[in-house]
A and B are shown apart, each in its own frame.
Chain A
Amino acid sequence: MKVHEFQAKEILKGYGVPVPKGRVAGTPEEARRIAEEIGAKRVVVKAQIHAGGRGKGGGVWVVDDPAAVEKAAREILGMTLVTPQTGPGGKVVQRVLVEEGMAISEELYLGVVIDRSKASPVIMASREGGVEIERVAAEAPEKIVREWVNPAIGLRPFQCNKIGYGLKLDPVQVGKMRGVVTGLYQAFVEKDCLLAEINPLVITKGGEFLALDAKMNFDDNGLFRHKEIAALRDLSEEDPLEIEASKYNLNYIKLDGNVGCMVNGAGLAMATMDLIKVAGAEPANFLDVGGGATVEMVKNGFRIILSDPSVKAMLINIFGGILRCDTLAKGVVEAVKEVNVNVPVVVRLEGTNVEEGRRILSTSGLRFTVADGMKQAGEKVVEVLRTGSR
């Protein structure tokens, strides 16, 4: 789960990481009041959306007086901000962060992620801040210092020294940075993060360390023990169909193609998308109805797939194991009663109770094409897409 910059900064502040003075605003007037409160000469107004690269899309303004803050906030609030990370549709900005502007002498990078192959959190730091760390890793990997932490004993002071002196900071700076590294790591572990990043971590002209931007992604599997984090979920950042699907415990991701697919199991669902592509069409979605799917879930999955107007054909690919084919078929029958199915449907059923499943489907009134095996499923879906036949 992602959160906004202002929320990440709020969390990090609780762990002793210094952040600029400021607050979030929902209206231009509120933005102006915050600027007056801060009382700084220079103020930064930043659009709060989950995607990065906001500056490039005109979502970050640096201004010199409270009146200008109000004007900037008026420009940003309500705009559809398009950045390299939002996709061409962009995101509508609903809040801005109003912060004290800083005189910066240097921009660093500091982040924590899980190193999957070492099964450890790894801290990464670099003096090349303000750019994507992936780019630094690709172009100048020697400029990144990495330190792996043993979760049983936690981050040790010597490791902070290795990071600080590894970046060739002076002893005073190393001392100041230690607090930032410790706070960030602590937040990462205690809040079950998958990513915690300060980019840039700036050194001000006055020699202080400050988190100028912050990003935190949380482990969905850890949210049950962090109700306060789960409450930060921003539904306006998510696709409406995906929100609808999540209400029924369906794992649905909208894509750009025109073949809707309903599959059990994440791996098979991805493979089915690939199958559609190899056969010469494009998948419209990822949908895993899961092993424990009920008739209700299948029905809603079917409905959600068809409510995407770009879907021109549908492929149901089920390898029944825990999910029985007759359960799936009953769900489809229920869905057909409520939803007008106006695209051709190809059905491939295999596994537990497959005969019963096929029988139920054939009495459903739904006109569909039966595929025997995945190979045929791919061929038939392309065929019905071309001819439009049902």
Chain B
Amino acid sequence: MTGPPFEGSADLALGAELRILTRGGLMSILIDEKTRVVVQGITGNEGLFHTRQMVEYGTKVVAGVTPGKGGQKIDDIPVFNTVAEAVRASGATASAIFVPPAFAADAILEAADSDLSIIVCLTEGIPTMDMVKVRHYLKEKDSKLIGPNNPGLISPGKCKIGVMAGYIHRQGPVGVISRSGTLTYEVVDQLSKRGIGQSTCIGIGGDQIIGLDFVDLLKLFEEDFETEAVILIGEIGGTAEEEAARYIQDHVKKRVVAFIAGLTAPPGRRMGHAGAIIAGGKGTATEKMEALNRAGVRVVKNPALVGEEMARVLSR
């Protein structure tokens, strides 16, 4: 499952050195082979299916939580009534949340209450106002929230917390940050088919209010030794891409390729994702592309050519 590191990597020698320093594989961001995961909502259909998929990929799922089902076991994974109990017993460091929308905000708060360092919430359909409250609570915590309404994240060959198909990924030098799900798979597939692997791929979520955003992750990728270049997949709505452009201009030396979905989206319509809407003439794909262009980002207009452009960027 684990592909070799990208052959053309200029930093291969440096990478080998780091491998010794870190006593593991190459680096990645947020999650790696040491990450210990608790699954909230493990006994539901989605939770169960994806827990098995994650375990099959090699993710260390060490506990599950479903209130009222403590004491049961799912395969060999112990189930607890609360996250606090699960963390005490298993030493979990990260959470994957497969909980229905009405209860998902509470699940995030519970994970943060137990000071899990990474909280990945896959749930689609959480009320915006719930997420507003969650974000304010998280200000006092060190927990990092990924999502909600996202495919999760994966450090190929090491750990996957989410619902993406593991086999399309391979390990390598490109970081991927995206507001979308299947569009990310498409771009990852374009990369992998060209032999270009990924350090970590993160779906930040399609909602209006999300946890980590482009800027937070660009910062982590900039500091990551394995990552040589970053792909940013944005879409209409909000100003996250414009904020990313400003940050890249001032702080990012690594090369960035971007695609922004929704050039043909009509204004005032919500395009599937809760956050994908051009409101009051703001949040258009054109504005975002221009901002990124000005920041020196290679903006690709044709979604079929993102992998090709990244190959070109890496060969220079």
Contacts and interface: CB of A to CB of B under 8 A. Distances in A.
A7 B96 CA distance: 40
A6 interface: no
Contacts of A155: none
A190 to B, nearest CB: 9
A319 B189 contact: yes
Contacts of B261: 267, 270-271, 274
Bin chain A's interface residue count. 35 or more
B255 interface: no
Most A Cβ at <10 Å: residue of B209, B233, B272, B274: B272
Contacts of B135: 119
A352 interface: yes
Nearest to A253: B269
B276 interface: yes
Contact of B272 (A270, A277, A373): A270
Contact of A152 (B133, B151, B178, B263): B133
B129 A219 contact: yes
B102 interface: yes
B132 A277 contact: no
Interface stretch (B30-38, B57-65, B67-75, B234-242): B234-242
Interface string A248-289: 000101010000000111111111111111100011001010
A116 B265 CA distance: 20
B179 interface: yes
Contacts of A117: 238-240, 243
Contacts of A114: 128, 132, 208-209
Contacts, number: 177
Nearest to A318: B182
Given A116-B239, A286-B271, A134 B127 contact: no
B304 A374 contact: yes
A55 interface: no
A46 to B, nearest CB: 21
A192 B164 contact: no
B301 A278 contact: yes
B171 interface: no
B273 interface: yes
A286 B272 contact: yes
Most B Cβ at <10 Å: residue of A132, A274, A275: A274
A225 interface: yes
B266 interface: yes
Interface in B150-199: 151, 163-165, 168, 178-186, 189
Interface string A189-213: 1001010000000000000000000
Interface in A357-390: 373-375, 377-378
B126 interface: yes
Contact of A267 (B128, B178, B281): B178
B316 interface: no
B264 interface: yes
B129 A267 contact: no
B282 interface: yes
B302 interface: yes
Nearest to B308: A375
A189 B129 contact: yes
A105 interface: no
A268 B180 contact: yes
Nearest to A87: B266
A114 B189 CA distance: 35
Interface string B239-273: 11001000000000000000101111110111111
A220 B207 CA distance: 12
B305 interface: yes
Contacts of B272: 251, 265-267, 269-270, 286, 288
Nearest to B53: A322
B304 A375 contact: yes
A351 interface: yes
Contact of A266 (B126, B180, B282): B180
B266 A255 contact: yes
Contacts of B304: 275, 373-375, 377-378
Given A134-B281, A274-B301, A151 B259 contact: no
Nearest to A189: B129
B265 A270 contact: yes
Contacts of A152: 133, 136-137
Contact of B102 (A224, A276, A277): A224
B47 interface: no
A152 B268 CA distance: 30
10 contacts: A114-B132, A120-B136, A132-B280, A221-B101, A221-B125, A225-B102, A271-B303, A274-B261, A291-B163, A321-B151
Complex A-B, nearest 8 residue pairs according to Cβ-Cβ distance, in ascending order: A267-B180, A266-B272, A265-B182, A267-B183, A375-B304, A374-B304, A119-B135, A271-B303
